[in-house]
Amino acid sequence: MVADRQHIYQTIQTSLAHISSYIEQESPDNYCNRIETAISYTDTMIADANQANANTFTNAHKADIYKSKMAGKYLPIPAQHANNNINTPARFKAWLGDTYLQRTVGTRQSAIQRLSQETFKTDDNPETYEAKIRQYILGTNSDGITTFFTTLKELWLKRQPSLGSRDSIPNQISQTPAINLQNKSQSDNDSI
């Protein structure tokens, strides 16, 4: 018996169950590759269904699966991108890559600029400083951020701060480890 479209969708959904909706947890290319792999488990089933009944499961159906996995700032998905309908996996990937660059990389570049203008003021302590700049570094390597703030707090406490004191803050901050604000994936670095 040849599978119908509903059976193909159900089989693919089983493979997709462990893939959460896309909210930038990885690069768009890596995420789309995982979806493509999940769909590929049904390639034989799709080929048999299309041979028995043309257009049972087309690229447009596959594109709908990719679209169904989007969330957050990636919704709603427009019908077209670059004057083309988003009705194939390749066109979906092009839209997602461009949208990622517009909504994420541009935002990160602005955050880096604002972060570079922040200063540790005499009335700051590690907690107030962290609260001021954490908004700029969300979405970066969380281990690096935790290490940075832990080191900052240790240096601040070692200094035995007194309110209103201005001694050696710049020297101590320069000793803290740098935060790697680059995205974890190489594809993101290439697109910057």
**DSSP codes, 113-163:** HHHHT----TT--HHHHHHHHHHHHTTS-HHHHHHHHHHHHHHHHHT---T
Q: Are residues 10 and 94 in the same domain?
A: yes
- What is residue 189's predicted lDDT score, i.e. its pLDDT? 45
3-state class (DSSP) for residue 81 = strand
Across the chain, mean pLDDT equals 79
Give domain status of residue 88, yes or no: yes
Parent domain of 153? 119-191
Give domain status of residue 109, yes or no: no
Contact 165, 122 (CB under 8 A): yes
Give the residue from 102, 132, 164 where a domain finishes.
102
Q: Report whether pLDDT(74) > 70.
A: yes
Round to whole Å and give the CA distance between 92 and 33. 12
Domain total of the chain: 2
Round to whole Å and give the CA distance between 24 and 97. 11
Q: Are residues 124 and 187 in the same domain?
A: yes
Q: Report whether pLDDT(16) > 70.
A: yes
Round to whole Å and give the CA distance between 187 and 167. 43
Average pLDDT over residues 168-185: 50
Contact 77, 99 (CB under 8 A): no
Q: Are residues 124 and 93 in the same domain?
A: no
Average pLDDT over residues 99-116: 74
Q: Are residues 91 and 10 in the same domain?
A: yes
Greater pLDDT, 134 or 139: 134
